[in-house]
Structure 1
């Protein structure tokens, strides 16, 4: 029998969430079979929708307690601000953490293959689009969604390229795959760095990708002096966020865009050695 006075007292002391948890614990104590049946019913309601909306992707999901807690723990571990100048909101950091976790999972090579091919992102572009030349058509993801040349240049830093020749819109030749950075170069780069090369960023090097100081899409060489490991957040800032990485003696300096300088003085955000 439930103690009504106790529950009235609990309602005055606890939040709605706490009351719900207390009620669930009490239910399990007095009717474990009924509680387990309710848990299984809830599990059957799990679902995930991924849809395109206004040039973005929208995610809607229901997860069971263990699944949701697992996802939250993974995202929380990667959503702390990366340095004092991290201007992202908490919502933006969580969104970036989810994408970064997916990049890491795909790069680890442990996900199931389809028809012998690892999960990957495919982009259709032209030489002009890759270089960001004026008048070039927008590059497209495999689903047809257009992306900017700046995004293509970031992805090309650690991509595999296939040359496709066309005649009258018909593919007549597909060249061999060419990687912008070889596995041995990537291993050597990781041996020289413990974290993302951006100052104050503590993202482990295994969670980064190689960036070309002189952009690969603009002819930059894939030599170690021209490579830096950058996490997803800082790699995107350099290519799409207006940040610059310039050489400074034996190291490099990161320079933020004008709207972040403040006070009219050009701001130097920090430096780390590149060699």
Structure 2
């Protein structure tokens, strides 16, 4: 005896019910899409946008419910989850698919969040923020199950009044709202740990685009990042106001911020900057006498053409108005003259000349940039060594310490580099 697999034991056909419901949704959407919003009243547009927002949340609730029980789909594909099927059939990136499945599993753990999605009061973005906050509460060794329940209740209530970003901020300190007495100290510790992690994440990357621009990106701690933003805005806003007064079209805000940042860099007082190897931070421009005399001459911004960036002589002259410039005008043999031979220590111009000639730390195999190196006497002054370029060598702080460490010996090789060896 065989049974019709499409009929269940309760005498209904769920497949037909699901198909009929989807048909109704598709028909209604098709009808709305056939209409032209240009002819709708403002009141109607507002109403449609509000209801569509709610429908999107409910649609997300339906999708997440299905994904939370999609183990049978994964079993068919032999994958650990339904992401492979979603990639093949729905043309969804596996990373995005797995993120949706992960959210579906998270929402299934929290009844109030799931109910909020189903009612259309919690969007998918807000659900993701809330579940992440609740997962952290659940992992908190101090928080109880009652704290977790109350935190979920509060966050779902806040979802009706806050954006996802605002919820994210509140979610970080939701336990303080649950019980300020117990969790204020914990919040302070959490913030301290967050700030310490921010220091570890701090990074700045700078590269030459070889099209007249320098690209950069990075990550800053919040406190420093906000100061940076405000300082750049302080230079960008006057430019915007000037254009408004003139009646000129406004460029994109990103361009104004970029111009403001450039102006901020140009107005930094070099005397307030850190000192590298005993010298104040400066800009070095290398240019031949022949190029200097040309209207369209070319100079190198840096220490050499390999590690430096070429600019026009005109730009070099303009920079000299706003920054400390060390000009190196080279003769036919590109020679740099010694200076200050009678000094006990290398004077600034000698250190700059060494950087121009040696390009980096002279320890064998080390490529530390010259800006971070110290000038070192290969033959000690007390042993009759002279403070001149022939006896001077650039060493990074690490190798400079080794040079003065009696446990190590060092010698200059024929190519000018310095080899270190531990004494036997």
Q: Is the 8 A contact 2:173 2:187 kept in 1?
A: no
Give a deviation string over 1:218-238, Cα, whole Å, max 9, x none.
xxxxxxxxxxxxxxxxxxxxx
Q: Which has the higher strand share?
A: 1
Q: Is the 8 A contact 1:106 1:119 kept in 2?
A: no
The whole-number CA distance in structure 2 between the counterparts of 1:122 and 1:173 is: 17
The whole-number CA distance in structure 1 between the counterparts of 2:267 and 2:224 is: 19
With normalisation by structure 2, the TM-score equals: 0.35
SS of the residue 1:68 aligns to: helix
How far 1:19 moved relative to its partner? 0.9
- Say if 2:311 is the partner of 1:147: yes
Partner of 1:170: 335
SS of the residue 1:105 aligns to: coil
Instruction: Identify unmatched segments of 5+ residues in structure 1.
Output: 175-275
Partner of 1:125: 287
C-alpha change, 1:90 and 1:69, in structure 2 (3 Å) is: same
The whole-number CA distance in structure 2 between the counterparts of 1:132 and 1:25 is: 63
Partner of 1:106: 269
How far 1:163 moved relative to its partner? 5.6
How far 1:168 moved relative to its partner? 2.6
* 1:1-275 matches, cutoff 5 A: 1=147, 2=150, 4-29=152-177, 30=179, 31-43=183-195, 44-46=197-199, 47-55=202-210, 56-82=213-239, 83-84=242-243, 85=248, 87-107=250-270, 109-133=271-295, 136=297, 138-142=298-302, 143-158=307-322, 160=325, 162=327, 164-172=329-337
Q: Is the 8 A contact 1:130 1:152 kept in 2?
A: no
Q: Is the 8 A contact 1:124 1:139 kept in 2?
A: yes
With normalisation by structure 1, the TM-score equals: 0.52
The whole-number CA distance in structure 1 between the counterparts of 2:274 and 2:251 is: 33
The whole-number CA distance in structure 2 between the counterparts of 1:146 and 1:140 is: 4
Count residues with an aligned counterpart. 172
The whole-number CA distance in structure 2 between the counterparts of 1:50 and 1:144 is: 16
SS of the residue 1:96 aligns to: helix
Higher-Rg structure is 2
Q: Is the 8 A contact 1:165 1:173 kept in 2?
A: no
Give a deviation string over 1:178-233, Cα, whole Å, max 9, x none.
xxxxxxxxxxxxxxxxxxxxxxxxxxxxxxxxxxxxxxxxxxxxxxxxxxxxxxxx
The whole-number CA distance in structure 1 between the counterparts of 2:333 and 2:289 is: 18
Partner of 2:38: none
Q: Is the 8 A contact 1:166 1:172 kept in 2?
A: no
Q: Is the 8 A contact 1:10 1:19 kept in 2?
A: yes
Instruction: Identify unmatched segments of 5+ residues in structure 2.
Output: 1-146, 340-424
Q: Is the 8 A contact 1:42 1:64 kept in 2?
A: no
C-alpha change, 1:131 and 1:81, in structure 2 (3 Å) is: farther
SS of the residue 1:45 aligns to: helix
SS of the residue 1:123 aligns to: strand
SS of the residue 1:146 aligns to: strand
Q: Is the 8 A contact 2:289 2:331 kept in 1?
A: no
Q: CA RMSD in A?
A: 3.1
C-alpha change, 1:156 and 1:64, in structure 2 (3 Å) is: closer
The whole-number CA distance in structure 2 between the counterparts of 1:58 and 1:87 is: 23
The whole-number CA distance in structure 2 between the counterparts of 1:61 and 1:54 is: 16
Query: Higher RCO, 1 or 2 (CA under 8 Å, sep at least 6)?
Result: 1
C-alpha change, 1:34 and 1:171, in structure 2 (3 Å) is: same
C-alpha change, 1:164 and 1:146, in structure 2 (3 Å) is: closer
Q: Is the 8 A contact 2:301 2:310 kept in 1?
A: yes
C-alpha change, 1:152 and 1:115, in structure 2 (3 Å) is: same
How far 1:18 moved relative to its partner? 0.9
